[in-house]
Amino acid sequence: MLSPTEFLSLLLLLPTLASAQAGFVAFKEKTCSERLDIWADGQLIDGGKLIIDHALRERGDFNGGHNYDNITFPGAQATGDWEKDTGTQFVYWKVQQPDPTCQFILLRNTQRGWESLSQLPGDELLRVSDEGCYYTAVNPNIDLITSFCCGRDDCSIAEIEVQYPSPEDTPNDKAPSCTVKSYDATPTVEDGVQIAVTRPQTCEAPPACTHSITQSKMVGTAVSHFQSFSWTTEEGVDVKIDAGIEFIVESKFSAGINFNIAQSWMDETGTTLTETNITASSEGERQQVGTVAFYAFTPQYDCWKGEVSCGKDQAGNEVVIRDVNFCQPRISSTGDSAGLFRMVYISG
């Protein structure tokens, strides 16, 4: 929960954003002296500014931010002759000072149903808490999202480089067994939660810095549902499921309802509890000189959607949990988790 001080800051920020039109203003070089034109869906963006007028916490109404689709930067320079940078451009963003406890966030929209497995509306490209001129590497025809957060609780969603402990599934030997009632037999590909795989570091001088993954991160089986459920079973046991995502891992003792739901899907789809590593070559993506950044990975999942029956309630009615997603990590040809690596720039 937000403290009274944090809540006041959030309330104060809203009119500030509306009146001053805080935003990300595009520039051609690192001194933020020469502005860039921005085109979105064939329309010139006024002043080359992507306004910030919706917060992460507004996810239900505005998908957690302000969307700008099919953006191009005709005057931006190419980032270089690296093969991996083909078509990528330098874009620097001038950002004003956020209010205390607040951060401005620029994200890239993902195309695979982000709402299933992430509380963010997209993958982070830039997150700042101090005014300045900040670098990003972007591709033409990109879809971008502006957002902001205020207070520790809201901003913890965006601080993906901080490894918060996973919620523990409360052991409950009396949790009801579940069976899949109906589902779409063909899984869809979904983007998972963006995960930091290196610590933030400063790149102070040429040659351009690279990031090496020194500690393996795990991606595992997940279940998610969009509604909260609670009932009392015929045996008199109270059961509660909160809307959200539960990543089921073998390293955590799971005997509760979320694990039972996952098990019912594994039985139905012929899969098993999966854990796979995030790995990369020792030389990862390069970091731009004069920046603070960390390397991040967005895993891909195969997800089945449907509904699950978890016994009967105290009145004898069948308990059906709808809009359940059961997701297994996609595995690349090398046996690692499939997905996309991306550099995330921050203000330090």
Omega of the bond leading into 176 within 30 degrees of 0 (cis): no
- Nearest in space to 307 (alpha carbons), one of 325, 328, 327: 325
Three-state DSSP at 44 gives: strand
Interior/surface letters 219-235, b for 16+ CB within 10 angstroms, e for the rest: bbbbbbbeeebebebee
Burial of 62: CB neighbours in 10 Å, binned 0-12, 13-18, 19+: middle
Kindly report the CA angle at 248 between 160 and 110, in degrees rounded to 5? Answer: 45
Q: How far apart are CA 269 and CA 262, in angstroms?
A: 11
Q: How far apart are CA 206 and CA 217, in angstroms?
A: 29
Check if the beta carbon of residue 321 is closer than 8 Å to that of residue 307. Answer: yes
Give Cβ neighbours of residue 317 (< 8 Å, ≥ 6 apart). none
pLDDT given for residue 250 in this prediction: 64
pTM over 0.95: no
Positive or negative CA dihedral for 157, 163, 165, 169?
positive
Task: Name the DSSP letter for residue 109.
Answer: P
Q: How far apart are CA 312 and CA 320, in angstroms?
A: 9
Q: How far apart are CA 181 and CA 322, in angstroms?
A: 9
Q: How far apart are CA 221 and CA 223, in angstroms?
A: 7
Kindly report the CA angle at 24 between 61 and 18, in degrees rounded to 5? Answer: 50
Residue 178 host element (H or E):
none
pLDDT given for residue 7 in this prediction: 41
Domain spans of the chain?
Answer: 4-156, 179-281+298-341
Check if the beta carbon of residue 348 is closer than 8 Å to that of residue 341. Answer: no
Check if the beta carbon of residue 135 is closer than 8 Å to that of residue 30. Answer: yes
Check if the beta carbon of residue 126 is closer than 8 Å to that of residue 346. Answer: yes
Q: What is the largest CA-CA distance in the chain?
A: 70
Report strand pairing: 318-329 vs 222-225. Answer: antiparallel
C-alpha dihedral (256, 257, 259, 262), degrees to nearest 10: 170
Check if the beta carbon of residue 285 is closer than 8 Å to that of residue 210. Answer: yes
Q: How far apart are CA 125 and CA 148, in angstroms?
A: 13
pLDDT given for residue 206 in this prediction: 72
Q: Helix and strand tally (H, E) in the chain?
A: 4, 25
pLDDT by residue for the chain (348 residues), tens only, comes to 444 444 444 444 444 443 368 999 999 999 999 999 999 999 999 999 999 999 998 877 778 899 999 999 999 887 654 444 445 888 999 999 999 999 999 999 876 644 568 888 899 999 999 999 999 988 888 999 999 999 998 999 999 987 655 545 555 557 899 999 999 999 999 888 898 988 899 998 877 788 877 666 788 899 998 889 999 999 898 999 888 888 887 656 566 888 899 999 999 999 998 888 787 654 456 788 899 999 898 999 999 999 999 999 999 999 999 999 999 999 888 778 888 888 999 997
Burial of 255: CB neighbours in 10 Å, binned 0-12, 13-18, 19+: middle
